[in-house]
Structure 1
Amino acid sequence: MRNLPLLLIFILLSSGCSSYKVSEDYVFPSKKDKALYIKSYNQTLKLWDIPFEETDVMTSYGMAHIIISGPKNGEPVILFHGTDASSSMWFPNIKEFSKRYRVYGIDFPLEAGKSVTNCIKLSNKETADFYNEIFEHFQMKNINLVGVSRGGWMATYLAVQPDNKIKKIVLLSPAQTFGGIENIWKVLTALNLKLFPSPKSLMKFFNAFSYYPDKIDSIFKEQLYLAYKYGNSKPRLLNMVRFSDKDLRSLKIPVLVLVGDHDIVNSEKIFVKAHKLIPNVETAVIRDAGHFLSIDQSEIINKKVVEFLNKN
């Protein structure tokens, strides 16, 4: 695949049919490899350092694995993780988020995590149905969404659907939401890690995506490495179509958009479009932060997100 054009590689990696059944677990076809990954996932969960419960909810598209924390009577906050990072990635943020809110981290079923599907592909509508079935299962109302990168795109997609129950959304450097990629060459370190996983490609990936790569806990780094090494997930770039101006104008709810000043996916230039189209939007640049801003500057992110959610 080294000599294939990049666009062709993306197409090959994104191909598939949602109705085609391939194995008991599409993302981890090898039980041995999955066991290694799950062990690492559980190690990362020890970094949460707060009480939480793990549960599974059966949906029409597979078994959703959900990590729940916070007071049972708290307003729901749904966490949408970045590509292959799983819900465990919220370890620097979960303690603050959970003080007042009932927080649900949902593993995306077509990526590394504990959710299980045997579908090769889900359409955007099917993915929305997957999440809405979970919301219905827990009888959620006044739902707040917090998404990072691809998760930010997904949060936006859910928020622009008609007749939703979403109250607010927080977008942490949302991919493909307000524009294209700021630095394509650095972003391709993720594709390089996916195609050729090694400690060297992992280091290049973290150096590109984080402003403080050496400060990221080694336990989480190991989990993400195993996700790329053994996971069968594929980039969903072709699914992540740009939102139209009409879509973004339909967001009447409060929206918070945060971007790191060293982000390789977005820059503060996206704020122009956000303020032009979204009636009730707040934006901010997070200093000394890369695309992994929720980890690079966790204290600042926690404060801004919680303050935004607390506003009447």
Structure 2
Amino acid sequence: MKGRPMAKISKFRSEAAREEFLRLYAGFEDRWPIPSTTFEVPGAYGRTFVRRSGSGTRTPVVLLHSYGANGLYWHRRIEEFTRDRVVYTPDTLGTAGRSVQTAPISGEADLTAWVRELLTALDHDRVHLIGYSHGAWHAILAALAQPEHLASVTLVEPGGVFNKPLWRTLFTMMRFGLGGRSDENMRKLNEWFTPGVTFSDEEWAIAKAAIMGFQMRIGWARVLKDAELQSISTPTLGIFGGESLASRDPEGAARRLAKQIPNSEVEVYPGIGHAILDQIPEQVVPRILDFLDQHEPAELHRAT
């Protein structure tokens, strides 16, 4: 009788791919616009690389990035988020970045345990947890399992969590995948999935190095059941692009979130796609900051 296949560890496809990615990463760090410090959080699944920026007495924020990105993704938004608080931007374990996975992350329980290890190591009573795209999946898992660590949760474009993507979206992505990994093909895929967003050459190079040079093996989101959503007690904000291809029906996903999560708010931005934080940051970021202000805990926090 055959057993279940052994879960594998996410890794770079070669030493050359790792070196090239880290070279690009080091160059991209110069774009970070404010002083910061970095440290590693050791845990059962590996070492998580974390950047700490900002100062202030308000409840800290933890920002979880999307697929193909890393903690440096937030360089354009970090000044706004750190106006009166500390902000942590980790490289998610099991994705291309400076974090190093050493044990398999084979399912939701492992992902939840990783987030718990991270938040515990930061040593704050509570944090505001904000996840974008794939990061939103990790954030809602934390809301399900560890509300004691959370002052609020913000889910930006949580594809696959409240409803499934359209089959034609998956089919089109597969078709692009079969077209090869040339710059031209990947740029066409990006233009189709995130219209209205133009990346610099440096941003494109590091994204390409992450997607092409790294094997991510930490899984994808699934549609949560009503009972799971109803059990979430943490104040939750959902942000959706009305034309996003990450969801079968963004407005339907927003309605389901609002109906099933007791203490929740939603915003749907018509005509905007999946790259909402890059298309209309002047609308989205203030909305998130206002939500954080509404759910600022009164208790004091331990110093770090």
TM-score, structure 1 normalization: 0.84
Q: Which of 249, 255, 262 matches 1:272?
A: 255
RMSD: 2.4
Q: In the alignment, residue 6 of structure 2 is paired with which amino acid?
A: C
- Tell me the SS of whatever aligns to 1:243: coil
| Aligned: 1:40 with 2:24 | yes
Percent of pairs identical after alignment? Answer: 21
| Aligned: 1:262 with 2:251 | no
Please say if residues 259 and 285 of structure 1, whose CA atoms lie closer than 8 Å, have aligned partners that are also in contact.
yes
Structure 1 segment 50-129 matched on structure 2, within 5 A: 50-71=34-55, 73-129=57-113
| Aligned: 1:17 with 2:6 | yes
- Per-residue Cα deviation, 1:67-107 (whole angstroms, up to 9, x for no partner): 11111644221111111211121122111011122111121
Partners of 2:45 and 2:272 lie apart in 1 by: 36
Structure 1 residue ranges without an equivalent (≥5) = 1-14
Q: How big is the shift at 1:43?
A: 3.0
Q: In the alignment, residue 17 of structure 1 is paired with which amino acid?
A: M
Structure 1 segment 207-222 matched on structure 2, within 5 A: 207-214=191-198, 216-222=199-205
Aligned to 2:301: none
Q: How big is the shift at 1:187?
A: 7.6
- Tell me the SS of whatever aligns to 1:272: helix
Alpha carbons of structure 1 residues 209 and 42: separation in structure 2 relative to 1, 3 Å: farther
Structure 2 residue ranges without an equivalent (≥5) = 296-304
TM-score, structure 2 normalization: 0.86
Partners of 1:109 and 1:151 lie apart in 2 by: 11
Please say if residues 48 and 95 of structure 1, whose CA atoms lie closer than 8 Å, have aligned partners that are also in contact.
no
Partners of 1:153 and 1:77 lie apart in 2 by: 17
Alpha carbons of structure 1 residues 119 and 70: separation in structure 2 relative to 1, 3 Å: same
Aligned to 2:291: 308
- Per-residue Cα deviation, 1:2-43 (whole angstroms, up to 9, x for no partner): xxxxxxxxxxxxx9634x67xxxx412523221211122233
Aligned to 1:6: none
Please say if residues 212 and 296 of structure 1, whose CA atoms lie closer than 8 Å, have aligned partners that are also in contact.
yes
Partners of 1:45 and 1:188 lie apart in 2 by: 34
Aligned to 1:4: none
| Aligned: 1:246 with 2:235 | no
Q: How big is the shift at 1:288?
A: 4.4
- Per-residue Cα deviation, 1:186-236 (whole angstroms, up to 9, x for no partner): 68538845993220222122112223133x333212111011121122472
- Tell me the SS of whatever aligns to 1:268: helix
